[in-house]
Each structure stands twice: as structure tokens, then as C-alpha cells.
């Protein structure tokens, strides 16, 4: 069975299965190709007749994940110019429904709305219109390029949210009841959108999953990364220079530079704010450009930038095990190397004593991973919740503690995703093992639906005294 909906650019045809309509690959902005590769997003080009929205659309240009992450994280890549697109799932016959808009993660370098994990049918089944968004990545989305606006990936996200405001009623959604949510780089995007004036009025609620409100770099530091990419290509680091390069060549150069940064995270070469913000593994993220982003998002939120927005934020218990266990880093760290590695991250090695006291069975690599998880994810999440509450806003905090059956990964980064989307039956990653607990997915998914519908996920708001945190595991607490 099929269904046709009229949006601003024309008519789109979706597919109806079990009472849920799915419209896939709808352009929300014009294809950013040629001279437009580094320009702000333009309105989608109108079409005649009825456009099929039956298959997933193209994904943003990006490299595949490097091993071993290519085996652990689903990342389908589909070439094509119209990658600034959205997928929409909606219940048949609904109107005035809450809307949830998903921004996928991937270190601002990878990711899309195409993985099976992000199928929105369960949200639609439960009365929510789910929209998932592609946005520009890497140099195209977040490189500082002379002659082009910075933060193009954020500008894409804003364009998608304006598209939702203008079109979601046609799918049964209420544009006044929009929740934005995202994980990792998507969560960092959400936290940044919470803080900037350009996003005012585009959403009412926000969920930050494994993100931070501190993921911005100084524009001049970020320009050093772009300069390295341009140097490899033999062109100026300008919109004209980089725009003259074929996209596959640009992605190849970007990938090499990303690998070099991870191997030698020298702040004098890459910029101190890039190394600190990205932990030495991420070369791309939003920048303070004075146009869209004026300061570290946390500072704006602390002054009340998001006081009228309902907030939920959380992490997994052992975030960084995804990055250190499969790569062999955890096993390789020695007691002698541990203090040096902590100093490189700007941390006092004396904290090792407290971690050892709390976890006497931890190896030096386990301690490094635990400290990095707390420094990069847990503490920023607490700071975000405290800033939001101190400014008079609402904030709820969660922790995902169920552990992967894969040896050593624990409750690692990205593990909560199919539980949130209730897609354990279709998610393709081996992270979840053969028998992940559906009952946990039922509870977690229901909390996200409740928050998107009412602004409360079902537990107490965070405060700096009692510090209530909802823990999702076999036995919730």
C-alpha cells in the first residue's frame, strides 16, 4: 500500500506497512555539488509529478570506517548528489502528533540516516512522527574554508529543522512539539543547537546521547586541519580550491589527514583546541565563528539559552571501551605510560590513585579508558545538566549500563542505539550479541517516547544535591 503527501517542493509517495507510513530520501535542501559544495544550504529544487520516496536516499560523502570499526558499526554509503535528505515515519491517520528529529553521529566524519538501527517504525507505532536527517560531514560540513561559511553541517541541520516546521503537519506532526535528539557527534550537534540564537523556535525538547556541550574549536585552530587537507591535494584551502577537487579525492585526503592526527596528536600542528575538543581522535566539529556559534555552548546554556527547552542527557557507563579495546590500546598501556598519556589529555596523573582504589582489578589500560570516558563524556554530561538546571530549565539524566557480550567492550559507546529505537531485531552490529534483552529496549524506547510526548521520561529531574540518574540495565535503578 502506498500514500502520497504534498510538501513544499512537490508530491512524495511513501509506503505503508502495518499502519506506519515511511517516506525515505526526501530532499530538504538543494544538492551541494560543484560551487555549492561549500555554500550554505539552499532550498530544495522543486519537482514535477509525484516523487517516489520508497528507498533510502544518498548519504553524505565520507570514507568507510577504518578497521576494526567497520565490523562493529553499520555505515552504509550510497553515492549521489541529493544527500541532504530526510526520512519520515508516521502513523496512518494521525494529526497533531509529537515529532522527534534524529541527528546521527559518527565523529562529524561518518554516519547517515540509513543504518537499519535508525528505522523509525517503532516510534511511529507508538504515536510519534520520526524524522532522521543527513547533513554534510568532514571538510565539506565542518572544515574551515576561506570564502565559505563555517559550520555548514550545522547550517544543514537548521535547514532540516526549518523543513520540519514547514512540512511536518502534512505527515500528521505538530511543529510546536518537536524534540531533537542525537548520539555522539549527533548529540554534540544537539547541544550546540540548544545554545545558538538561530535555532530558537525550531524545537521544544532535546536529548543529548553521549554528547557534550563543549565540542567546539577555535576557528583558527580548525583551519589548520583544512590546510593539511588542501596541502595534500595541492590546492589553496579555499572554496574555489577545494571545490575544484573531485569528491572521492577530497575524501581520500581527508581520511589520510584524520589518520595522521590520531597517530601524532600534536597541538602545535593541529591546534590545541582541536586536540582537546576531539580527544586526539576527531579532526572535525563545530567552531566558534562569531556568526552562528559565538561561544562554547555550555557557557550560553548556563546563562539560560535553553531555559525554555526540556532536556534529557546521558551516557553509557564505559563509553571509551569502544575505541580502546578493539584497537588494542587498552591491552598495550603500561603503568609507566599511563601518567604521560593522562598529561597529554590535560589531566593530573594523581587521579590514578582514586581509580585504582575504586577498581583494584583494573589494568593501566582499563584505568586510562575509564578516566577518558569520564573526562570526555560523563563529566560534560553532568556539567550540561547542572548548567541547564541552574539557569532555570529542566534536565533529566540517564546512564546505559547493559554490557555487550563481546569480550571487553562493556557498556560502550553506541551500544544503546537499538534499544532507543527498538530495532534489536534488525540492527546488524555484532555489539549486541545473539540475544539482547528486548525488555530493556521496551523500557528505554518508552522513556524516549514519553519525553518526546510530555517532556518527562518518567523519573526525577536532575539536581546538584540528590543527583538522580536513571540507570538502564537488566534491573533498572
Q: Where are the domains of the chain?
A: 1-212+306-333+367-477
CA distance readout (Å), 348 to 166, 323, 381: 50, 22, 20
pLDDT for residue 458: 96
Residues known to be catalytic: 184, 319, 413
Q: What does pLDDT average to over the chain?
A: 95
Share of the chain above pLDDT 70, in %: 100
Angle between helices 152-167 and 185-195 (to 10 degrees): 70
Question: How far is 226 from 228, CA to CA, in rounded Å?
Answer: 5
Q: Is 293 helix (H, G, I), strand (E, B) or coil?
A: coil
- Dihedral sign of CA atoms 106, 112, 116, 119 in order: positive
Exposed / middle / buried, residue 351 (Cβ in 10 Å: 0-12, 13-18, 19+)? middle
Q: Given a cut of 90, is residue 234 above it in pLDDT?
A: yes
Stretch 147-172: mean pLDDT, rounded? 98
Cell of 217: 574549536
Residues 6+ apart with CB under 8 A from 82: 25, 27, 31, 57, 58
Question: How far is 149 from 39, CA to CA, in rounded Å?
Answer: 7
Helical (H) or strand (E) element with 175: strand 173-183
Q: Given a cut of 80, is residue 279 above it in pLDDT?
A: no
Greatest CA separation found in the chain?
68
pLDDT for residue 470: 97
Do 255 and 63 meet the contact criterion of CB atoms below 8 Å apart? yes
Share of the chain above pLDDT 90, in %: 88
Cell of 428: 546488524
pLDDT for residue 280: 77
Right CATH number for 1-212+306-333+367-477 from 2.60.40.1110, 3.40.50.300, 3.40.50.1820, 3.40.605.10? 3.40.50.1820
Q: Given a cut of 90, is residue 476 above it in pLDDT?
A: no
pTM of the model: 0.97
Query: Across-strand partners of 378?
Result: none
**Tens digit of pLDDT for each residue in 50-60?**
999 999 999 99
Stretch 368-379: mean pLDDT, rounded? 95
Q: Given a cut of 90, is residue 61 above it in pLDDT?
A: yes
pLDDT for residue 428: 74
- Which of residues 475 and 287 earns the better pLDDT score? 287
Q: 358-380: buried (b, 16+ CB within 10 Å) or exposed (e) per residue?
A: eeeebebbbbbbbbbbbbbbbeb
Stretch 163-177: mean pLDDT, rounded? 98
Amino acid at each position: 500500500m502506498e500514500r502520497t503527501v504534498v510538501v513544499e517542493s512537490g508530491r512524495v509517495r511513501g509506503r505503508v506497512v502495518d499502519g506506519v507510513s515511511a517516506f525515505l530520501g526526501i530532499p530538504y535542501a538543494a544538492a551541494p555539488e560543484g560551487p555549492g559544495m561549500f555554500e550554505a544550504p539552499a532550498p530544495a529544487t522543486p519537482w514535477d509529478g509525484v516523487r517516489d520516496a520508497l528507498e533510502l536516499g544518498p548519504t553524505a560523502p565520507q570514507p568507510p570506517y577504518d578497521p576494526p570499526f567497520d565490523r562493529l558499526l553499520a555505515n552504509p554509503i550510497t553515492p549521489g548528489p541529493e544527500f541532504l535528505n530526510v526520512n519520515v515515519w508516521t502513523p496512518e491517520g494521525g494529526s497533531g502528533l509529537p515529532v522527534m528529529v534524529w541527528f546521527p553521529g559518527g565523529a562529524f566524519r561518518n554516519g547517515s540516516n540509513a543504518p537499519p538501527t535508525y528505522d523509525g517504525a517503532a516510534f511511529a507505532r507508538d504515536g510519534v512522527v520520526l524524522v532522521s536527517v543527513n547533513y554534510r560531514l568532514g571538510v565539506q560540513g565542518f572544515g574551515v574554508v576561506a570564502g565559505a561559511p563555517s559550520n555548514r553541517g550545522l547550517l544543514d541541520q537548521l535547514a532540516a529543522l526549518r523543513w520540519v516546521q514547514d512540512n511536518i503537519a502534512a505527515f500528521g506532526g505538530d511543529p510546536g512539539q518537536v524534540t531533537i535528539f542525537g548520539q555522539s557527534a549527533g548529540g554534540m550537534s544537539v547541544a550546540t543547537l540548544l545554545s545558538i540564537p538561530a535555532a530558537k523556535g525550531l524545537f521544544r525538547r532535546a536529548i543529548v546521547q553521549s554528547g557534550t556541550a563543549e565540542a567546539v574549536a577555535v576557528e583558527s585552530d580548525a583551519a589548520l586541519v583544512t590546510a593539511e587537507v588542501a596541502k595534500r591535494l595541492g590546492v589553496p584551502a579555499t572554496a574555489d580550491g577545494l571545490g575544484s577537487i573531485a569528491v572521492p579525492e577530497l575524501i581520500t585526503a581527508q581520511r589520510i589527514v584524520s589518520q595522521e592526527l590520531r597517530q601524532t596528536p600534536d597541538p602545535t600542528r593541529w591546534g590545541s583546541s582541536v586536540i582537546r575538543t576531539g580527544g586526539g581522535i576527531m579532526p572535525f566539529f563545530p567552531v566558534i565563528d562569531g556568526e552562528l556559534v559565538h561561544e562554547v555552548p555550555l557557557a550560553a546554556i548556563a546563562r539560560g539559552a535553553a531555559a525554555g527547552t526540556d532536556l534529557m542527557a546521558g551516557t553509557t557507563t564505559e563509553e571509551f571501551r569502544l575505541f580502546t579495546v578493539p584497537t588494542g590500546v587498552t591491552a598495550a598501556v603500561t603503568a609507566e605510560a599511563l601518567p604521560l598519556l593522562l598529561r597529554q589529555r590535560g589531566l593530573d596523573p594523581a587521579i590514578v590513585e582514586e581509580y585504582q582504589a575504586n577498581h583494584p582489578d583494573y589494568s593501566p589500560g582499563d584505568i586510562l579508558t575509564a578516566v577518558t570516558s569520564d573526562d570526555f563524556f560523563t563529566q560534560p554530561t553532568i556539567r550540561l545538566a547542572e548548567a541547564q538546571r541552574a539557569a532555570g530549565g529542566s534536565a533529566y539524566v540517564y546512564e546505559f549500563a547493559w554490557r555487550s557480550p563481546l569480550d571487553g567492550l562493556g557498556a560502550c559507546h553506541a551500544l544503546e542505539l537499538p534499544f532507543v529505537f527498538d530495532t534489536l531485531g534488525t540492527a546488524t552490529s555484532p555489539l549486541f550479541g545473539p540475544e539482547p534483552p528486548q525488555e530493556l529496549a521496551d523500557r528505554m524506547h518508552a522513556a524516549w517516547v514519553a519525553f518526546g510526548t510530555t517532556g518527562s521520561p518518567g523519573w526525577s529531574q536532575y539536581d546538584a544535591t540528590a543527583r538522580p540518574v536513571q540507570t538502564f540495565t537488566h534491573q533498572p535503578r
